[in-house]
Amino acid sequence: MKIEVFKFLNSYSTNTLEIDRIIVSTFLYENGLDNTRNNLLRSYLIQAGDDDYDALLSFQKICSLRDLEELIKVFEFVISPSDKIVNGAVYTPEFIREYIVKSCLEQFQGDINSMSIADLACGCGGFLLSVARQLYNLTDSSYYDIFKHNIFGVDIADYSIERTKILLSLFAVKNGEEREIFEFNLCQGNSLELNWTSNFRRYDELGGFDIVVGNPPYVCSRNMSEETLLSISNWEVSKTGHPDLYIPFFQLGYECLTKNGVLGFITVNTFTKSINGRALRKYFSDKNVDLKIISFGGEQLFPDRNTYTCICFLSNNDPAVKYIRIASKNIISLQLETLVRFPYSELNNFDGWNLTNDRSTSEFLKTIESVGKPFKDVFKTKNGIATLKNDVFKFTPLAEDGQFYYFVEDSQEYAIERNICRDIINANKIRNPEDINLLREKIIFPYDQEIKILAEMEMRERFPNAFKYLKSKKSILSTRDKGQREYEKWYAFGRRQSMDIRQYKLFFPHICDKPVFTLCSDRELLFYNGLAIVSDDMEELKAVQIILSSQLFLKYIKNNTKDYASGYISMSRNYLKNFGVPHFTQSFIKRLLNNDNVEEFLAHTYNIEL
């Protein structure tokens, strides 16, 4: 249904009003509400004789809108892809919204009849719909009074505010409350810069909001405008790394709460570990926030987004972090009292929080990290090279002679000078030592022995074939970094990382279901993707390979890393950095390499029980 709807609306109009007329009219007719006397809804109703009536009939053949959730999905779906990237709009499933609102209402200690509830990035109004439904069932208030006195919403897109008004009006009318006019506390604006008092007259009177709920926008820093980057830089929680847009919404939401208020968000779960979340973790700790986190691990709750999420509740009750990781389908039966409590004094705000489903696993992580020195202080870990256009620079030779490597691309044969090429391998694909030779490729390497970029004149004279080939790809290379960065030469690699490695390597993948560590004795071999521990001491690398291939390390990394879908985990340096490494004396290395029972040896070394 989605594809057909999108194709129809995309070909029909790019005008938001015209699209909304089609959608709203379909809903009204399908639900027998076309006789409504609500002024807002009637302004969107297409009737026989109108210019767009035939288009409405065609749309109704492919889309039946009888349910408000389907309406919300269509509203969210027809937001342009560019706006979704810029504004972070995404549909939140009904059961998640209902759970967050219900839990916030249960945690709030105050008069439910006079409470104020806000969504600071309300999108098309899904959360406010859930709020209205639950308040109506818990109080004697009409929808008119709930909209006028209890609900508040802000969104950066004016069409989202209009759609929120439409959604709430349809909800009330469908449930039997007919009014010519509903009054709303909704405004268009950037919540991170909003003057709350001037936009909501009752804000100062209320002393903030009793409950803040929502799904803050999912926008990474590289997709933000300069204006947005400047806006988030003013927030205390956005001072580390390259924070995503959702991060300052935590500070905004918390500081908008009344003294006994409760915040409930569904958002990205990486802030507990990431550098981007370092300032946010410190903020929670400094403010003594009662923070409850329900993580969904590697489950992807939003099919259209490659994000991993959690539900967070913030209040001022008990200063600590309470945590559990579960499947989203189990939240309905979850009791918040069962979350595992972690005092802030036990958590590392700088390096990241080790949060687990039980205290014994948490103690295991602490024990491992207390041994020897942190991994980051003992070993150098490198990411692969970053040309930013690997398909231009690397190739697999079909033939070779004393002067050239030959390959074919788009039915054209190329001969590239051997002396400008180096061996390279995709570290993510290595599974055993034999792969080191089987997976080798060639890469055009326009640098000298000191890793200085070759001058164009030298390239033309010494490597005319390679230069001619790269020049044919110049327009492709110019698109790197969105064409906004000037390179030292137009044929330079996108980044200078890992180009000067001439050491032994222990390769391992960046993302995997179970890490595999493969030794490489070729000091000159370059790699892309994946990671490698590099060293001039092969015996040292053999020893660390044994440790990292152990069940002890596997348990550590699985409870310390970022989860991905299908049970995959991240092996990023950020999750390796605090792993405890025993003192690598010659005696220790010798005993480790010659031990017949590695797991028992390591259990003794780390003082843990198998």
In the chain, where the domains are located: 1-66, 81-357, 371-384+500-610, 390-426+433-496
Q: Does domain 81-357 have CATH number 3.40.50.150?
A: yes
Query: What's residue 89's pLDDT?
Result: 57
Query: What's residue 86's pLDDT?
Result: 39
Helix (H, G, I), strand (E, B) or coil at 330: helix
**φ and ψ at residue 25, rounded to 5 degrees:** -60, -40
> CA angle, 437 as apex, 432 and 443 as ends, to 5°?
120
Query: What's residue 85's pLDDT?
Result: 42
Helix locations, 397-516, DSSP H: 435-438, 456-462, 464-472, 474-477
**What is the C-alpha separation between 371 and 603, in angstroms, rounded?**
12
Helix (H, G, I), strand (E, B) or coil at 519: strand
- Low-confidence residues in the chain, pLDDT < 50: 81-82, 84-88
**Is there a contact between 24 and 45 (Cβ–Cβ < 8 Å)?**
yes
Taking the CB of residue 564, how many other CB atoms lie within 10 A of it? 18
Of 191, 177, 205, 25, the C-alpha closest to 114 is: 205
Taking the CB of residue 42, how many other CB atoms lie within 10 A of it? 15
**φ and ψ at residue 405, rounded to 5 degrees:** -105, 140
Query: What's residue 305's pLDDT?
Result: 67
Query: What's residue 558's pLDDT?
Result: 93
**What is the C-alpha separation between 223 and 378, in angstroms, rounded?**
35
Query: What's residue 84's pLDDT?
Result: 42
Taking the CB of residue 568, how many other CB atoms lie within 10 A of it? 15
Helix (H, G, I), strand (E, B) or coil at 420: helix
Helix locations, 531-595, DSSP H: 538-548, 551-558, 573-576, 586-593
**What is the C-alpha separation between 496 and 477, in angstroms, rounded?**
15
- Rounded to 10 deg, the angle between the 586-593 and 598-606 helix axes is 140
Query: What's residue 230's pLDDT?
Result: 84
**Is there a contact between 580 and 371 (Cβ–Cβ < 8 Å)?**
yes
List all residues 6 or more positions away from 119 whose beta carbon is below 8 Å from its beta carbon: 125, 127, 128, 131, 152, 153, 154, 212, 213, 214
Rg (CA), the chain: 29
List all residues 6 or more positions away from 164 whose beta carbon is below 8 Å from its beta carbon: 122, 123, 124, 125, 128, 153, 155, 184, 186
**What is the C-alpha separation between 578 and 18, in angstroms, rounded?**
56
**Is there a contact between 101 and 263 (Cβ–Cβ < 8 Å)?**
no
412-417 vs 404-409, strand pairing mode: antiparallel
